[in-house]
Structure formats: structure tokens, C-alpha cells
Structure 1
Amino acid sequence: MLGEINLLIIRLVLVVSALWLAQANLFASQLYSELALKENRDNIIISPLAVRSVLAMLFIAAEGQTRADLKRVLRLHGETKFLSVAEFRKNVNIESKAMELKIAYRIFLDSKYPIEENFQATAEYFLNSTAESVDFENTKEVAKVINKFLEEKTNKKFKDAVQPADISSYTTLFLANGFYFKSKWAKPFKKIGLQRPFYFTPVAHVPVVMYGKTDELLYGDIPHLSAKGVEIPYKDSNLSMLIILPNHRTDKLKHWENLLLRMDYRTLNAKFQRTNVHIQMPRFKISYETGLNSVLQSMGLKRLYINPDFTSMTRKMGLRLSNLKHKGIIEVNSKTDDGSEYSDNELNMNQLPKDFIVDHQFIFIVKDPVRLYFMGRVLKPQ
């Protein structure tokens, strides 16, 4: 079956891959906006790449209207399943001295539903993952199995992402995904001595330790969001963090996020210019987990939960999605490598730098030039 993917198709994939990745970013904007508007917690982080990847596995499994719904919501292109999922062939996991990026996802299927060999081969080839048979009657044991998978794939950075309460004896199909990300900056931040206020409303604030540097960065205004942004590169990679900072202190960031619903994040920095920037920001770590059932249904995937057609994965009828559990950790470690403190003497006085002081609520995006890995918000640093 996989032999049908010949060199001509692969060459075609390379030509249109940029268009596919643009569509992936539009999926990311909808996913993040739907989640942000439903979520009451201060700080959130999600990997649109991980969510889209595990749903792409369901696309391989699906037929009929279920397949059509997934293709539309995931913004996949291609006349065949192979062409539609060819973009996922790239392995995104990275582990180096400067960066640790781990993304994991898998389908867990009740053992009453025999898994088709062709599905397993296709999913492994394109998405480097497979479906695993489990006995959902034993909820505690299944939770252990899923947690073991996520822990191993993320170098044991988090535990117990899935609880027995997330599963029931009626569960037949469970999607699990998670990620861990930590990286050094291309140019490290340095500690700025005393604590500074971080505002979570126009007046209320919490004290935080700020870290700063002056660096040549992409910087610019985002007028339609009444915000400005800066893009900070990571060390020894083409990844960067884009920070979107409202022009004024606010407690309305959750409402402001609604503007992101139909936004293509590739265009946010279209008018940015490279210039000297004096940036200050707090350290923060976000550990976040959530179920995504209501989000997926809001995005147009209700059929996955009612009467889906997954006959390319199993010939037995009656299978439907019970839950998609997502957990991730991001560590933004602005601490300098040598423990030194920032000094204004480091400024390049030949060009007065732009000030970018991250002292109130903001949104951040971790991306490379074409792919979006993580998105989140910080209302209160932790």
C-alpha cells in the first residue's frame, strides 16, 4: 500500500508543502482561540502541532463524512490520504545541549476493536506513531499505560497526565498527547536585581524578578491588535519565541484573544524590522493539562463523538472518540548562564534601543519560519 507513494508524489509534496503549513497555522489560531475563550486558568500552553498530528491519525482512520470533517477542520489538502498527511513526515523532536523539544501522541483503542494492519503501517510511516490496544474495563491500568507512554516520550518530565477518572468502562477511543519544551536563548538574559511589578490588571500587580538584555531583534507594532511584538531567537536552531504584548496594561486579554480566531500568525511579524531592543521579561514555567472535547466540538468535529466512521482503522462498528487529553510543559529560563546581572552599560549607544518591557499580560508563540509549535498566554508569571 505504501508503495503507491512514488517519487512523483514526493516531489509534488515538496512543492505544495508551504501552502499546507500555512493552513496548519490557521488551524492553530482557531484551536488556541477556542481554548483560550473557554479556559479560566491564568496561564495556558498548547501545542497545535501535537493536537493536529494526533487528529491526523484519526483522519487516516476515517472514511465518509468523518474524513471530510477532519480534512476541513485540520485544513488538509490533497486528493488522496497519502497526499493529505505527507506534511507530517518531518520528525519535530529535538534534543541537544541547547534545546529539549519532545512531542508525543498516540491513539488508544479498546481491545474489542481489532486494528487494521494497513492503518498501523500508514500511521507509523507518516506520523511516527501507531494505535495501541488496551482494556478500558481496567481504568487504573489503562491510565498507567498511557502515562508510561507520555513519560517515556517526554524524558519523564511529567507524570500522571491521565487519571482513571478520565477513562470509563464505556471508553472505546482515547487520544493522548503531550509535550515538553525548554531551550537556551541565542543571547542569554541577565538578572535585573530587585523585583519589579507585573500587572495582571491596570493597577493590581505581583512582584517578579525580571531579566533583561539588549539585542538586535525583529520588532514592530501590530496595529490591528493594539499591540507590539518582538521575536527572540533560540540557540543553535531556527526556532524563536514571538511575544505579543498589548500596548497598555489590561485585564481583558481573554476577550482580546477572540481577535486571534481567524488570524494567520505568519503575517503578525510581516512589518517587523530588525533593530536594537532593550527587553525585560520575567522567568516563567507553565505546566498545563486539559481535555479538548468541547474545543474540538466547537471547531466542527462533533461527528467524532456521535457516529463516526473509522473503518480504515477497524472493521468493527460502534467506535467513537471519548476524550482527547493534552498536557504540556514549557520552561522559559531567562536566567543567564554565568549568574551575572544586567547593566545599562551593555547598551549600544550608537543606536538607542526600543524598549520592550514585558510587565503585563501577554501572548507568546514558539515557531520556526514555517511551523508553529506552541502557543500560550501569561496572565500571572509562576
Structure 2
Amino acid sequence: NSSELFTSPKEKKRKEKKRKGKIQELLPVDSVDSLTKLVLVNALYFKGNWAKKFKDGFTKEQPFRMTKNTTKPVQMMFQREKFNWTYIKTVHTHIIELPYVGNDLSMLILLPDDISDDTTERDLTYEKLSKWTSSEMMEKTEVDVYLPRIKMEESYDLKSTLSSMGMQDAFSEDRADFRGMSEKNDLVLSHVFHKCFVEINEEGTEAAAATAASMTTRSLISAIQFIADHPFLFFLRHNETKTILFLGRFCSP
């Protein structure tokens, strides 16, 4: 019975353990019943520590501007360090690279100047992102980085999206072909569920959550101001292959 398979306590506990308990209830309520034959589920788990960590004592509450007239408080982290940075004039956007320990992976953050400007997101392609973040475009620069703590969790049913992209046979009783999985060839895909959890704090991305300190700079040398106090895009990149492992948009705490 497929519904028993997906909801058995033993199976549920095993899957949550593999995801470190960060992604729970992957299947929506009532999404699986006795008629369900096949469901595709995907969960992403990543934990990385910053190569240059934010100090807890510098974190303080600041407003995050969701729109020009609406703000919400966030815990804003701060550090001044040298990072790869660039400014793309054509789309009025700052880009910074925050590497993880080992430098195999980096988080790329694209921060538009204008809070209501969606040009960067609308026109962005993989080719443009690759060009903008290439070694020829970015330079090691001293930057004052203000970045909010983030905790995001999103769920998606990708059936309609995949169907509109041309993946239709898998969802059709008449055309589905899963003979490689079942000799009876009686399987048809009912849903494609995806769930993602992202947490960013002083330690890094998805680290488990000090002493008091004031937010001061180390010297009078001017530094680039990278203040992520309004919506921005972020990407997790594998640096050797330039593969984007996940991406997101932070627009509201």
C-alpha cells in the first residue's frame, strides 16, 4: 500500500535523520492515498561554514526594507573583510562572493541598488551570471558586509511546471512508461514535490543556532558598502565546475 509506505513512522524517521531534521513533512497532508502509485520527492540539505565568519557581537537588529514603505526588523550581521566584489552598471547591482571553508563552494549575492528594481532578476541568465562573477570581472576588495540572518523553508508541487516544460507523458495514465521500475508497466507519476530549507547565520549556511561589542571598523580606510537591507538574490556555486547548486530570493524576513 503506497500510503502506508510514505507515512510509516520508521520510513519517516529514517528520511528525517538523513536530512538532519531540517526538512520535515515533505509530503503535504492528503497528497498520497490508496490510488497513488508513484510520487517523486526531492529534498536539499547543505551545511557550510564561512571561510570568514561573522562575529556574533556585531549582529544587531536593523530594519529590512521589503518595499519603499514597508520594513520588518532583522538580525543584521556585519563584518569588514576582503571579498571578491564587483558592480554591474548595466543593471545597477552589487555582486559579492562569500566563500565557504575550503573554497570549493561560494555564496554569490546579487544586490540591486533600487529596492523596487526587478531588472536583475528579470534579465538574469546563466551566461550573464557566469560573466559577471568571472575572475576578470570581480576583484578582491575590502567590503563592509551587512547581511541578515536568514531562515527560509519553501515547498513546491512541480507537476504543472514540468508539464508546461514538456514533461507530460510521465503524468499520463496512457503514455507513462516506467517499465524499468515495474514489469507490469502500471506506474504513473502523480506528483513531484520539492522542499528546500536554507538558514544563514554568523557561522555559515545551516549552522546550528556572545559577547557584546559595538559595530566599529578597524581603521579609517574607506571600504565598499554592501548593505543587504532590501531584497536580493543568492546562489550557491560549486567553484570548480561553476555549477549552481541552488538559488533563492530573500524579500521578506
**Aligned partner (choices 146, 161, 183) of residue 295 of structure 1:** 161
Aligned to 1:367: 237
- Cα distance change on mapping 1:329 and 1:342 into 2, 3 Å: farther
Higher helix share: 1
How far apart, CA to CA, are the structure 2 residues paired with 1:298 and 1:227? 32
After the TM superposition, which residues 1-382 of structure 1 pair with which residues of structure 2 at under 5 Å, given as runs?
135-136=1-2, 139=3, 141-144=5-8, 147-190=12-55, 191-192=57-58, 194-250=60-116, 253=118, 257-260=121-124, 262-264=125-127, 265-270=129-134, 271-306=137-172, 307-334=175-202, 339=211, 341=213, 343-347=215-219, 349=221, 352-369=222-239, 370=241, 371-381=243-253
How far apart, CA to CA, are the structure 2 residues paired with 1:180 and 1:297? 26
The Cα shift of 1:359 comes to 0.5
Query: Which stretch of the first structure deviates more once superposed, 267-276 or 157-166?
Result: 157-166
How far apart, CA to CA, are the structure 2 residues paired with 1:289 and 1:224? 33
Q: How many residues align?
A: 240
How far apart, CA to CA, are the structure 2 residues paired with 1:274 and 1:359? 23
Q: Which amino acid aligns with 2:238?
A: D
- Cα distance change on mapping 1:236 and 1:227 into 2, 3 Å: same
The Cα shift of 1:141 comes to 4.7
Which SS does the other structure have where 1:322 is aligned?
Answer: strand
The Cα shift of 1:372 comes to 1.9
- Cα distance change on mapping 1:212 and 1:301 into 2, 3 Å: same
How far apart, CA to CA, are the structure 2 residues paired with 1:179 and 1:347? 41
Kept in 1, the 8 Å contact 2:80–2:217? The answer is no
Q: Among all aligned residue pairs of Structure 1 and Structure 2, give the percentage whose two residues are the same amino acid.
A: 28
Kept in 2, the 8 Å contact 1:217–1:232? The answer is yes
- Cα distance change on mapping 1:146 and 1:348 into 2, 3 Å: farther
* Structure 1, unaligned runs of 5 or more: 1-134
Q: Which amino acid aligns with 1:280?
A: Y
Q: Which amino acid aligns with 2:133?
A: N
The Cα shift of 1:180 comes to 2.5
Q: Which amino acid aligns with 1:346?
A: R
TM-score, normalised via structure 2 length = 0.83
TM-score, normalised via structure 1 length = 0.57
Aligned to 1:116: none
The Cα shift of 1:224 comes to 4.5
Q: CA-atom RMSD, angstroms?
A: 2.6
* Structure 2, unaligned runs of 5 or more: none
